[in-house]
């Protein structure tokens, strides 16, 4: 999955966990969001490196 889809999935899990009172599901959602943000940051770094190598 890409970063944006992980973030969206995490938000849904977090909301479902909050509504149902399921702390485990809510924490999984927060973790999914964090993973998505890391993926997005890593992709930005890779894109910058590739761009510099081409120039």
What residue spans define the domains of the chain?
Answer: 3-54
4 phi and psi angles, rounded to 5 deg: -65, -40
Contact 29, 10 (CB under 8 A): yes
Q: What pLDDT digit, counting tens, does each position of 2-34 carry?
A: 999 999 999 999 999 999 999 999 999 999 999
- Which residue's structure tokens are 């943000």? 37
CB atoms within 10 A of CB 45: 9
Residue 42 confidence (pLDDT): 97
Residue 7 confidence (pLDDT): 97
Kindly give, in sequence order, each residue whose CB lies less than 8 Å from that of residue 53, ignoring residues fewer than 6 positions away.
none
Backbone region of residue 53 per phi and psi (left: phi > 0; alpha: psi in -120 to 50; beta: other values): alpha
């Amino acid at each position: 999955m890409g970063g944006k889809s992980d973030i969206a999935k995490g938000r849904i899990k977090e909301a479902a966990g909050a509504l149902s009172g399921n702390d485990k599901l809510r924490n999984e959602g927060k973790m999914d969001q964090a993973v998505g943000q890391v993926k997005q940051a890593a992709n930005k770094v890779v894109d910058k490196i590739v761009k510099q190598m081409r120039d």
